[in-house]
Structure 1
Amino acid sequence: MAGALTEIGLLLYPGAQLAAVHGLTDLFEVANRLAREHNSACVLRVSHWRLEGPAGSAAARVFDTNPDAPGAPAILIAPPSLGELQTREAMAPLALWLKAQHAAGATLGSVCAGAFLIAETGLLAGRAATTHWVYAETLQQRYPQIIVDTDKLIIDDGDIITAGGLMAWTDLGLKLIDRLLGPTIMAETARFLLVDPPGREQRFYSHFAPKLRHGDEAILKVQHWLQAQGARETSLPAMAARAGLEQRTFLRRFSKATGLRPLEYCQHLRVGKAREMLEFTGRSVEEIAFAVGYADPGAFRKVFLKVVGLSPGHYRARFGAARAANR
């Protein structure tokens, strides 16, 4: 199959819901077929991964839609589970492998109880995540540093995406199709499968998807740091120091790796956080501006308009939860 391959790996851990694994596999195949009809240069490669070897010491592909292609997964998804939650000890080997893949640039995703596997990596500490409401209290108790928010079906935090309900694999799958193949293919996939993706067909308001698989470890380290702390109170000297680079070298390498200057990159991350608050909270624009790191609400409004194409007030009026509830 010709085209630029992006591999999505699905994890077959003990108790994983096979309906979700096979459903996502079919979902991405439908998207690929529609993308080919549009002469898209992008192709989704889907693989299934399971720990093998002595005591589960190594992860291996046990299914691959493009078995002869080289490369590693750009995205790894922990599906739901219908069984008992695994112990932390049982999850440790796979969590360790996931953490290494994330450090190499892979985006991690989870659905429902799959959030426990992502949480075991330690990468969600200090960050928001969602899971099925049944598991919310247990997730919070096991991993108290996570901000558990089960009011949201999906929390897209750039390099980590968590989805809540047992059937939210459809929402996660469509979000990834939107990110990788574009909103047109996402919308057509949803229509073909008779799945309703509310709001996700808004091509001009797609969430920021940072480039992570560029191979520059120093820059990737800074990106993970910025994502984890919301790009608040950052400065060029602080970012360069975090990368262990001289400032001019850091600027050059950051722009080459991400396609954005550091200031622009931080603006996109902050606006992403602000959009969530505008959609799901009643906080004022001034409060949100301060929460995401802007002391001047006027400057925040200008940046938001530049990045999103709408003012904060118009964005809330169009996409806020209160409007959705009244539809």
Structure 2
Amino acid sequence: MINVGLLITHQYRLLSVAAILDVFETVNKFTLASGQEAPFRVTLVCPGTTAANPAFSYPSVTLNEPIRLDLVLVPSFASDDIAGTLHKNSEFIPWLISQYHKNAEIATFCTGAFLLAATGLLNNKIATTHVDACAAFAQAFPSVKLLADKTVTQDGRLYTSGGATSTFHLLLHLVHRYCNRDMAIKIAKIFAIDMDRETQAYFSTFQPSRDHTDELVATAQEKIESNYHDTGTIEEMIRDIPASRRNMVRRFKQVTGITPIEYLQQTRIEAAKKLLLQTSLQMTEVIYNTGYNDPKAFRKIFRKTVGMTPSEYREKFQVR
């Protein structure tokens, strides 16, 4: 039997915990119905001396109690103040490191990746998280190889998933890993999960960071956002800012996590996405109105950023 520990962190998202428990419960029920032993024993791991929520009918232990686990699961938590949430959950950090060194695998869901990254175990390893939290993650943990578009990542004994429904894709991956493909397919059908989705890029929304005090960078951001539809170069857009190009690029990336040209491209693509969904403009008009004059270049950048073509994006998400 596989010993699974589910962290009941401070400010965990109930939906995340419920989804994880529901999938493991379902796997156990299917297995028991076939006359076999349930594959998973789930224990809730609680901070300090705090007891588990009585709504969860599972055995629980605190961080102070010894336990040996095969698989540790870190649910998503509220992302309004990630730094504050990490501070509240700091007691989990040495515990996670200890479990990993005892050969446990660790899987995080959505913003739970921040807690794993804070342990240092993800340094120089690949990871993903909620698409809208990727900029903050990259800035907080530059040593992690962030794959923002991925739904699920695995690097050795460490697993991460993207946001929201990507939780189910990682759960399928774990069911396949610990049980078999047939069980993973059965769970996918029960929970109506699209097993083939490997990217979450088209769910992202570009939300540039404004939580900084660098006035030059703030000015550059404002100029880019006000003039993205112009076809001029990035240098022309920020030419009157009193800083050398090299210094501006360095400061800009340090503050926002991306270069000015990447910021311009992200701003343009976000504008294009809105035009595709909120208007009936022809594709050539969308391209022109977002500052591109080369349709081929626009489509290439759009597909790379969003994970599908502009036409596919409009077809998939436009309200009819």
What range describes the TM-score normalised by the shorter chain of this pair? 0.5 to 0.7
Cα offset for 1:174?
1.3
Partners of 2:147 and 2:67 in 1: CA distance: 34
1:266-305 pair list within 5 angstroms: none
Aligned to 2:158: 160
Cα distance change of structure 1 residues 8 and 75 upon mapping to structure 2, 3 Å threshold = same
Partners of 2:42 and 2:191 in 1: CA distance: 19
Cα offset for 1:163?
0.2
Partners of 1:179 and 1:130 in 2: CA distance: 19
Query: What do residues 38-90 of structure 1 show as CA deviations (whole Å, max 9, x unaligned)?
Result: 3444521122211123xx8xx9898664679x962211111112342143433
Aligned to 1:277: none
Amino acid in the other structure paired with 1:75: L
Cα distance change of structure 1 residues 80 and 190 upon mapping to structure 2, 3 Å threshold = same
1:1-327 pair list within 5 angstroms: 5-41=1-37, 43-53=39-49, 65=58, 72-84=68-80, 85-87=82-84, 88-198=86-196
TM-score normalised by structure 1 residue count: 0.53
CA contact (8 A) 1:21 1:79 kept: yes
Higher Rg: 2
Q: Report the secondary structure of 1:52's partner residue.
A: coil
Partners of 1:82 and 1:90 in 2: CA distance: 12
CA contact (8 A) 1:110 1:162 kept: yes
Q: Give ranges in structure 1 of 5+ residues lacking alignment.
A: 201-320
CA contact (8 A) 2:16 2:76 kept: yes
Query: What do residues 187-235 of structure 1 show as CA deviations (whole Å, max 9, x unaligned)?
Result: 11221222232289xxxxxxxxxxxxxxxxxxxxxxxxxxxxxxxxxxx
Partners of 2:197 and 2:139 in 1: CA distance: 33
CA contact (8 A) 1:34 1:189 kept: no
Partners of 2:128 and 2:108 in 1: CA distance: 9
TM-score normalised by structure 2 residue count: 0.55
Amino acid in the other structure paired with 2:108: S
Cα distance change of structure 1 residues 14 and 66 upon mapping to structure 2, 3 Å threshold = closer
* Identity over aligned pairs, percent: 25
Aligned to 1:207: none
Query: What do residues 155-186 of structure 1 show as CA deviations (whole Å, max 9, x unaligned)?
Result: 01230000011222211111111111111111
Q: Give ranges in structure 2 of 5+ residues lacking alignment.
A: 199-306, 313-320
Equivalences, count: 195
